[in-house]
Amino acid sequence: MSGANRPIGVFDSGVGGLSVLRALRAELPQEQFVYVADSGNAPYGERDDDHVTTRSLAITDYLLSQHQIKAMVVACNTATAAAIKTLRAAYPGIPLVGIEPALKPAAAASLTKTVGVMATRGTLQSEKFQALLASLHGQATFVLQPCDGLAIAIERNDATKIEALCAEYTRAMGPFGLNQEAMDTLVLGCTHYPFVESELRRSIGAHVTLLEGGAPVARQTRRLLEAAGLLARPDAEAMQAPTQFFTTGQVEDLQHAAARWLKLNTSASALSV
């Protein structure tokens, strides 16, 4: 298989990275993807960096050895914060794209200059996030909210828990809206959170800007593939290249999530790595 025809690997601690996969498939419809949900070892956001790095290395090894991927997308804010440096050092031969909370565009977009950030505790406490936050000193006030349990509630599609946690965490952050000192912009710093936008809107209102990282990751992936001469050629007969799904958790959970959020009736395979 030629380099350009090999698939792109995408992984997350669970089903949240499907929000990034959705953006990747829209930006790069000619590309094949292999998606790994490490649901059997979730949630990453409540684990230490060593655990997350070990899992990230194991999954990348699997994708390279078994699927000969041409590029890797770490579709998880926590894994990017904990492991991206290690991954880049270990695999210098492939384009590797991470994701981080959209603090910089949020600071630029906010009119009140007060920005809310919802993320896992692991992301907010990471050295990478703290460096990003420090780089924006004076550009906006950031209200940081660790959202313990929200990602796993989304994994389990627990509607009652999701609604309760969204209400609890947005209430704890303070006022949202367009008034002075209110948060007019909310950064979704976990790839799971875009899937609960409707629940968040009940608390923050319709006029608050929500920012997440899927589209920027997809654009960066395109740029890196173009630079490396690895973009797949469009297939005139195919509307969308195929995607393979694997999970270390329950196969049915990933299949249901892909159907619910990507409108894909697809099979998934169990994975032990």
Read off the pLDDT of residues 118-144 as tens digits, 9 standing for 90 and up: 999 989 999 999 999 999 999 999 999
Same-domain pairing of 221 and 88: yes
Read off the pLDDT of residues 130-183 as tens digits, 9 standing for 90 and up: 999 999 999 999 999 999 999 999 988 999 999 999 999 999 999 999 998 899
Backbone φ/ψ region at 205: left (φ over 0), alpha (ψ -120 to 50), beta: left
What's at 19, amino acid-wise? S
More confident residue, 211 or 1: 211
Same-domain pairing of 238 and 191: no
Same-domain pairing of 59 and 70: yes
CA distances from 162 to 76, 136, 230, 256 (A): 19, 31, 40, 17
Range of the domain at 139: 103-211
Same-domain pairing of 108 and 201: yes
Torsion (CA) 84, 90, 94, 96 in degrees, nearest 10:
0
Task: Say how many domains are in the chain.
Answer: 2
Same-domain pairing of 137 and 198: yes
| Active-site amino acid positions | 76, 190
What's at 116, amino acid-wise? G
- Boundary-marking domain end, from 166, 189, 211: 211
The pTM is what? 0.91
Dihedral sign (CA 61, 224, 188, 205): negative
Same-domain pairing of 107 and 207: yes
Same-domain pairing of 21 and 89: yes
Same-domain pairing of 144 and 235: no
- Boundary-marking domain end, from 164, 179, 211: 211
For 100, the token pair is 């981080």
Q: How confident is the model at residue 234 (pLDDT cuts 50, 70, 90)?
A: confident
Residue 58 · residue 79 · CB < 8 Å: no
Same-domain pairing of 110 and 94: no
Same-domain pairing of 186 and 88: no
CATH no. for residue 126? Answer: 3.40.50.1860
Angle between helices 159-173 and 197-204 (to 10 degrees): 40
Which positions ≥6 away from 60 have C-beta within 8 Å? 9, 11, 72, 87, 90, 91
Same-domain pairing of 55 and 113: no
59-62, long-range: CB < 8 A, 24+ apart: 59/11, 59/273, 60/9, 60/11, 60/87, 60/90, 60/91, 61/273, 62/36, 62/271, 62/273
- Boundary-marking domain end, from 211, 244, 259: 211
Same-domain pairing of 183 and 223: no
Angle between helices 18-27 and 214-228 (to 10 degrees): 50
Total number of residues shown for the chain: 273
Peptide bond into 43 cis (omega under 30): yes
